[in-house]
Amino acid sequence: MPTRTADERRAEARRAYDAYLAECPARQLLDRIADKWVTLVLNALADGPRRYAELHRKIAGVSQKMLTQTLRALERDGLVSRTVTASVPVRVDYALTPLGVSLLPVVAAVKEWADGHIEEVAAARAAYDEG
């Protein structure tokens, strides 16, 4: 059996989608969906399509720039669709695609876990900070 170099092993691992490698496409996707704004946008769209202004009002603290960047990235990744309706003014709606809907249970579970465990985390932080 021929010996493989480290570069060859890394290349083979990339082909196998090893998320522990920085170059792995799956790692790049994990980076995207782990973003707090992505999680909040996906959860905000869970009940159906929303206009930009509705999303901006619902997600407290997100700047217009970050919301726009997040929506564009999600659209690029095929998780969110953008529908423009010709009217005065122009109406733009954002909705989850079937791919986005398939991710929703995962991000919803993370959000629910955070909502349900924030007091325990806050207590752990306080204990750590005192120690």
Over residues 46-68, the mean pLDDT reads 96
- Residue 16's pLDDT is what? 67
Percent helix, percent strand, percent coil in the chain, to nearest 5 = 60, 10, 25
pLDDT tops 80 at residue 104: yes
Residue boundaries of the structural domains of the chain: 35-130
Indicate if the alpha-carbon torsion angle 73, 39, 86, 89 is positive or negative.
negative
Q: Taking the complete model, does pTM exceed 0.85, yes or no?
A: no
Top CATH class, 35-130: mainly alpha
3-state SS assignment for residue 67:
helix
Over residues 17-41, the mean pLDDT reads 85
> How high is the mean pLDDT of the chain?
90
Over residues 107-125, the mean pLDDT reads 94
* In contact, 40 and 62? CB cutoff 8 Å: yes
Over residues 99-113, the mean pLDDT reads 93
